[in-house]
A and B are shown apart, each in its own frame.
Chain A
């Protein structure tokens, strides 16, 4: 914007005739939101580490996610957990600040404009709605902070039924590695899902709409 244009814009605002322009400018320059009426995201702090370690090593679904049953030494786990991570947040309840889940963007490839995202629900049998709203906020945040074309989400086949209905609506199934995972005496496929930037706008609007409902 040139100096003259800036002055004109400021004059419009000062004259009181530019309320919509003020709003438009504010929205344009605002960063991505980390909060809605139901959940909010905050960075992982050292105080979260013992909790996360217990969830990942001893939680009810520990063998199905992340460490897949392994129990690395705590200090090794702390040192390695941020390797390759671009952004990571805890999802917390806006109502009582309880921890709901963890979302991570990692293995960013800035040359080819893609990254991986992962989501871990601390209570897989709990309220899936709030977890989904947290994941939605996070994907929105990643697309708004970095110019990625698409985000990959890797999942083992045994976890896929929890969100399979989103195929073709919220993500595409792009790849399948046959019998890639072993669990409970069975071999399971590994699925590579992709969320495309151009398809995300509709989902972003939906997440914003739901998040704006009166949650409290």
Chain B
């Protein structure tokens, strides 16, 4: 079950994607492809990776960066794989789960 922290982070995440892709946040779906649907190009991918790692403290992305096939990654897939574990880890450390 998604925590409220996870829900709030999803909103921030979609907003960040919206700014990088220059598309309205309302048009972004979990199943949207990062490259094909949002049209994020190779330099946009660099921007996205920096945002995920430095702003959302994405877990595991640093090591996976050289292997990630961004064309196969969906909006929800990237969130579940890299951002959610960061939230869980933060909640585990603070002992807070809302």
Distance between Cα atoms of A162 and B39 in the complex (Å): 9
Neighbouring B residues of A210 by C-beta, 8 Å: 46, 49-50
- What's the minimum C-beta distance from B7 to chain A, rounded to whole angstroms? 28
Nearest residue (CB) in B for A121 is B42
**B contact residues around A93 at 8 Å (CB):** 66
A207 nearest in chain B by CB position:
B46
Question: With A132-B43, A162-B42, A163-B41 known to touch, is A214 a contact of B70 (CB < 8 Å)?
Answer: no
User: When each residue 108-134 of chain A gets 1 if its CB lies under 8 Å from chain B and 0 otherwise, what string results?
Assistant: 000000000000000001111111100
* List of A residues within 8 angstroms of B53 by Cβ: 213
Given A213-B62, A216-B63, are A166 and B43 also a contact pair (CB < 8 Å)?
Answer: yes
B54 closest partner in A (C-beta): A209
Q: Contact between B62 and A215 (Cβ–Cβ < 8 Å)?
A: yes
In Å, the complex CA distance between A209 and B45 comes to 15
Are B44 and A165 in contact (CB-based, < 8 A)?
yes
User: With A213-B65, A215-B65 in contact, is A129–B41 under 8 Å at CB?
Assistant: no
Q: Are A170 and B63 neighbours in the complex by a CB distance under 8 Å?
A: no
The interface bits of chain A over 191-216 (1 if a CB of B lies within 8 angstroms of the residue's CB, else 0) are 00000000000000010011001111
A84 at the interface (CB under 8 A from B): no
Is B63's CB under 8 angstroms from A214's CB?
yes
- Considering the chains assembled together, what is the distance between the CA atoms of A132 and B40 in angstroms? 14
The yes or no answer to B71 lying at the interface (CB within 8 A) is yes
CB distance from A58 to the nearest CB of B (A): 23
**Nearest chain B CB to A110 CB, angstrom units:** 29
- Check if B42 sits within 8 Å of A131, measured CB to CB: yes
Residues of A within 8 A of B46 (CB): 129, 132, 206, 210
Task: Answer whether residue B68 sits at the interface, using C-beta atoms and an 8 A cutoff.
Answer: yes
B45 CB to closest chain A CB (Å) equals 5
| Contact call A128/B45, Cβ cutoff below 8 A | yes
For the A-B complex with A38-B66, A162-B42, A165-B44 known, give 15 more contacts whose Cβ atoms are closer than 8 Å: A93-B66, A125-B71, A127-B69, A129-B46, A129-B65, A131-B42, A161-B41, A163-B41, A163-B43, A165-B43, A206-B46, A210-B49, A213-B53, A214-B62, A216-B63
The 6 closest A-B pairs by CB, nearest first: A128-B42, A166-B43, A213-B62, A165-B44, A214-B62, A163-B43
